[in-house]
A and B are shown apart, each in its own frame.
Chain A
Amino acid sequence: MTNIHVIGLDGAEKIISSKDGATLMEALRDNGFDEVLALCSGCCSCATCHVYIEAGPSTLLQCMSDDENDLLDSSDHRQPNSRLSCQVSLTDDLDSIRVRLAPAD
């Protein structure tokens, strides 16, 4: 089990927990964050699962693929701590990370 602190678009913070092996996108989708559209269901093709990593291991921002990086450029709301949540696999070392949903484009 991995616990994640999530700040929604309304600014409210909620702690959710997820099965190991799921992606962050799946955890958000399955825990009531309907704002996360995730249209391509994790194929790294749509950028509708954009989040900001507010706190977590620094590796979390360093392990991005070129595809993800290029896709994030499609967002007007990109920040240095942006990630596509479908590309983040929830493993033990990510327990207690804090993420914030990015506004839709």
Chain B
Amino acid sequence: MRQAVDVLIVGGGHAGAQCAITLRQGGFAGSIAIVGRENEPPYERPPLSKEYFAREKAFDRLYIRPQAFWAEKDIALILGTEVVSVDAQAHTALLSGGRTMGYGQMVWAAGGDPRQLSCQGADLAGVYGVRTRADCDALMGEIDGGARRIAVVGGGYIGLEAAAVLTKLGCHVTLLEAAPRVLARVSGTEISTFYEAQHRAHGVDLRTDVGVAALIGEGRVTGVELTDGEVITVDAVIVGIGIAPAVAPLTAAGAAGVNGVNVDEFCRTSLPDIFAVGDCAAFSCAFAGGKLMRVESVQNANEQANCVAKAILGEMKPFHATPWFWSNQYDLKLQTVGISSDYDQAVLRGDLAARSFSVVYLKANRVIALDCVNTVKDYVQGRKLVEAGATPDIGALADPARSLKEFNL
């Protein structure tokens, strides 16, 4: 095995895999290694709370490339191995197992790890995050073993998707959200209220404004004690309260960043010859008024990876990509474009009762984002409004009979 590589990619998830693929596609002739903590070759994560979890898609359809691809392209996969420390001056990385590996350039694509509860009992058996195949398989094993009463802590996309699948599988789900509404971090109130109602209609016991005081059990979780004193009996608990970016070795090596590692417009960290991409990279986002932020999506991971691969190939182009995201729950297809967090006005188009509508978010009269539920047309046309920073007439915008295309002046 080589002791030094030209490009060392840390993390074999969406961003790491794409970076290697684009490098080879672009004719990069140097050596490439991906060091990844998981034992699996790169695979897609979104199905872990959707089709794979629902057992509608077998795992072998999730691989980003067939097994043979990596060897054919001379991309070394060093799996089940972590980078534990980095010496940026010497250009070396220490791997778990004790091996030191030299690199010309490093791409840090390590994603994040599920945040854990900090309350008593958080480390009991039967408590799961949903980030990896191993997490998902363990959870599916619980269900096969008879677990039916499941508490989901956290009403973000992943918690809600998991709740939708579990309900379909015949589980009794209690969903606990500490904020006054679900999806509070990413969507406006219309979307939150709508999704809360949909989940309740499917039998989810969905509660907001409620915290977890403790997890109860002898070795294994059997109950969730809420901040209001109630105790819910459970067979298993899913914790979906966000991720902590996996950047400790980089930060220890001196990389700047508080929430993840900071990168510039070419995804370069403050350390020489070290890029960072994907969920762990904080950048100044043009779609959020230049705010320094991390974006957790497949789109962002892929496009940042491409930006870095191109930079390594000598084609420096600043990262600028329209953020988009999707989430499937029950028969609801949610598509999001732009970043809504700073909106000052939200305009509803369409009929909530018909379960097909969109919400257009504006800031200072400009369209900054859309959430589209079962309305692909608005998503497609609204994306252009976000990209153009369009300033449509609000009254007309609210009329679903008018197509969003009209406002793209």
Q: Which residues of A contact B (CB under 8 A)?
A: 22, 26, 29-30, 32, 34-35, 37, 39-41, 43-46, 66-67, 70-71, 73-74
A70 touches B21 (CB 8 A): no
- Known interface pairs A39-B299, A73-B380; A67-B333 also in contact (CB < 8 Å): yes
Counting residue pairs across A and B whose Cβ atoms lie within 8 Å, the total is 49
Q: How far is the CB of B112 from chain A (nearest CB, A)?
A: 19
10 smallest beta-carbon distances between A and B, as pairs:
A70-B376, A45-B326, A74-B380, A70-B377, A41-B44, A67-B376, A30-B66, A34-B25, A71-B376, A73-B380
- Known interface pairs A22-B61, A30-B65, A34-B25; A41-B47 also in contact (CB < 8 Å): yes
Closest to A69 in B: B376
Q: How far is the CB of B35 from chain A (nearest CB, A)?
A: 22
- Tell me, yes or no, whether B222 is within 8 Å of chain A by CB: no
- Tell me, yes or no, whether B249 is within 8 Å of chain A by CB: no
Task: Kindly state the separation between the CA atoms of A41 and B17 in the bound complex, as whole angstroms.
Answer: 14
Total chain B interface residues with beta-carbon distance under 8 A: 27
B61 touches A26 (CB 8 A): yes
Task: Kindly state the separation between the CA atoms of A30 and B298 in the bound complex, as whole angstroms.
Answer: 19
Residue of B64, B65, B376 with most chain A CB atoms under a 10 A cut-off = B376
B298 touches A34 (CB 8 A): no
Task: Kindly state the separation between the CA atoms of A73 and B376 in the bound complex, as whole angstroms.
Answer: 10
A29 touches B65 (CB 8 A): yes
Q: How far is the CB of A19 from chain B (nearest CB, A)?
A: 10
Q: How far is the CB of B76 from chain A (nearest CB, A)?
A: 18
- Known interface pairs A45-B333, A66-B376; A74-B383 also in contact (CB < 8 Å): yes
Closest to B66 in A: A30
Closest to B50 in A: A43
Closest to A68 in B: B376
CB contacts (< 8 Å) of A44 on chain B: these are: 333
B302 touches A37 (CB 8 A): yes
16 pairs of residues in contact across A and B, judged by CB atoms under 8 Å: A22-B61, A29-B65, A30-B65, A32-B69, A34-B21, A39-B302, A40-B46, A40-B326, A41-B47, A43-B46, A43-B326, A46-B299, A46-B324, A67-B376, A71-B380, A73-B381
Q: Within B14-61, which residues are at the interface with A (CB < 8 Å)?
A: 21, 24-25, 44, 46-47, 50, 61
B298 touches A40 (CB 8 A): yes
- Tell me, yes or no, whether B304 is within 8 Å of chain A by CB: no
Q: How far is the CB of B131 from chain A (nearest CB, A)?
A: 17
Closest to B383 in A: A74
Further pairs besides A37-B302, A43-B50: 9, Cβ < 8 Å: A29-B64, A39-B298, A41-B47, A41-B62, A41-B298, A46-B324, A66-B376, A71-B376, A73-B380
Q: How far is the CB of A57 from chain B (nearest CB, A)?
A: 24
Residue of A34, A39, A43 with most chain B CB atoms under a 10 A cut-off = A39
